[in-house]
Chain A
Amino acid sequence: MTRVLREIMLVSAKDLRIEARSRQTLGLVAVLGVLIVVVLGLGLGPQQVKSGMAATAVLWVAYLFGGVLCFEKTMAVERHDGALAGLMLAPIDRGVIYAGKLISNLALMLALALIVTPVAVVMFGFDLSAAPLGFVAIMAGGFVGFAAIGTLFAAAVSSTQSQGGLLAVVVFPVSLPLVIVSTQMMMRLFGEGEPLGAVGLTVLIAFDAVYLVVSWLVFELILEP
C-alpha cells in the first residue's frame, strides 16, 4: 500500500512540478474563472447580485468550466512526446496513473477555487461567513466527484482525434446528478438558512464513491498510448 501511495504521489508531484514551471493551466483557468464570475455578475444585474444563490450558481459555472480545462491540460502533458507511453511501460498499476492525475486535478481546482471564490464574495457580496464549513464540505464533495469523472474522460478523449470541446460535452451530462445535489445543498444552506444535513452529505459522498470506484476500474480499459 505504501508503495502504491508513493507511486501516486510521484505521478502527481511530477504534474504539479510541470505546472509550477510552465504555469500554463492555472493561468488559463484563473482568467477564465474570474471572467465568468465578473461577466455573469454584471449580466445578472444588481437585484440578483445580492442573492447568495446567484453567487453559488455562478461559482459552480466557473468551477465546472475551469475544471474541464484542468483535466484537458493535465492529460495533454502526457500526450506531448508520447510521455503517457513511458508511464504505461513502467511497472505500476494503471490505477496509479489515474489517482496521480486525479490528485493533480484536485490541486489545480483547489487553486482555482482560492482565486475565484474571493472574487465572487466581493462581486456578489456573498456572505460565506454564514456557513463556511458547510460551503467547504459541499465544494469538496462536488470537486472530488467531478474530478473523478473528468480525469477519466480526459484520458479517453485525449486518445481520440476530436479533442476540442468534446470533454465538456461528455463530462457535464455525466456529472449533472452531482452538480444538482451540490446546488440543492447550497440553496438550502445559503438561501433558506438550513443547516447542512447528514443525508445530503451522504448522498454526495455516495456519488463520489461510485464515480471514483468506477473510474479506477475503467481507466485501464480506456488508456491508450
Chain B
Amino acid sequence: MIAITAESVTPLTDAEITTATPAVRMRGLSKRYDERWVLRDITLDVPTGSYLALLGANGAGKSTLLHTLAMLSPATRGELSLFGESAARPSPALRARLGMIGHQPMLYRDLSAIENLVFFGKLYDVSRPKQRAMDMLERVGLADRALSVVKTFSRGMVQRLSIARALMHAPELLLADEPFSGLDVPSVQAVSALLAELHADGKTVILTNHDVRQSLELAQRVVVLGRGRVVSDRRAQDANADEVTREVIG
C-alpha cells in the first residue's frame, strides 16, 4: 500500500497558484454528440498547481469534459489551451505533460503489470523505464505482483495499476475520472494520499467525483456541472457540503 498520508502534504498557497500560468484555459467550450449538446459554453481557468474537483450528477458532462481536456476528442466549439498551448493541434510535448486515470484502466490485460508500465514508459520516453516501473509499482503497493498478468488482478489492483500507468511519466496535469470508483476503503485512502502528494509537488489535479464531502476535503476548488453547464464554482473551504449536494442533484 502507499505509505504517504494526506496530512503530510503542503499544497501551494493561493498566491502561488494565481501567479502561475493556467494549466487549463477554457473559453466557451462546447461539445455535441449527434444532436445533443453535452458541454455548453464552459469558461474556466485552472491555475497551475491547483486541485479541482468536478462534481455533477450522471450525464452532467464531467467525463466528457475530462476527455476533451485530455485531447482525446476535440471540442465542437470554443477554445481550449493547456499550459498556454492551444489544444487544437497538440504537440507531442504537450501530450507528455498530461496523465489520465479513466473509467477504464487503459491497460493490456494479457501483459504483466511491469510490461504494461514499461510499454507506456517507453512511449513517453521515460529514462530507465524498468526502474521507474518498479518504483511506481512499489508506490501503489503492487511490487509483489509485478510479473502477474493484469487479467488476474482484482478491480482495486487494476485501478491502482492504472494510476501507476498515469503517473509513469510524472505528468504536470493529472486528469482523474472517478478514481475512487470500485475501490475499498484502504485503497481509497491510498489513492487520496497519492493525489494529495502530487498536488503538494506542484502538479495540477482535476478529478471527477460523486462524493461531495470527500471532494471538499481533497480539493481546493469545486466546480459543479449540470446538463453540460457550470452551475457553481467555489473554493472548497468556503463551500457547504449540503448546498453543493443540492446543486449536484439539480
Contact = CB atoms under 8 A, between A and B. Distances in A.
A217 B182 CA distance: 39
A19 B104 CA distance: 22
A86 B67 CA distance: 12
Contacts of B106: 81-83, 85-86, 89
Contacts of A83: 106-108
Interface stretch (B18-26, B90-98, B197-205, B225-233): B90-98
Main DSSP-derived SS at the A contact region: helix
A82 B116 CA distance: 13
Nearest to A85: B106
B37 interface: no
Contacts of A224: 73
Interface residues of A, number: 23
B92 A91 contact: yes
Contact of B104 (A10, A14, A77, A81): A81
A225 B72 contact: yes
A182 to B, nearest CB: 34
A77 B122 CA distance: 19
A7 B124 CA distance: 10
Contacts, number: 72
A28 to B, nearest CB: 15
Contact of A82 (B102, B120, B123): B102
Interface string B79-105: 000000000000011111011101111
Given A17-B111, A91-B92, A224-B73, A7 B123 contact: yes
B70 A17 contact: no
Contacts of A87: 123
Interface in A206-225: 224-225
Contacts of B110: 18, 21-22, 77
B97 to A, nearest CB: 9
A10 B109 contact: no
A17 B94 CA distance: 29
Interface string A53-91: 000000000000000000000000100111101111111
Interface of B: 67, 70, 72-73, 92-96, 98-100, 102-111, 115, 119-120, 122-125, 149, 158, 165
22 contacts: A7-B123, A10-B122, A14-B108, A14-B111, A18-B111, A21-B110, A81-B107, A81-B109, A82-B102, A82-B104, A82-B105, A85-B100, A85-B106, A86-B107, A87-B123, A90-B120, A90-B124, A91-B93, A91-B94, A91-B95, A92-B123, A93-B92
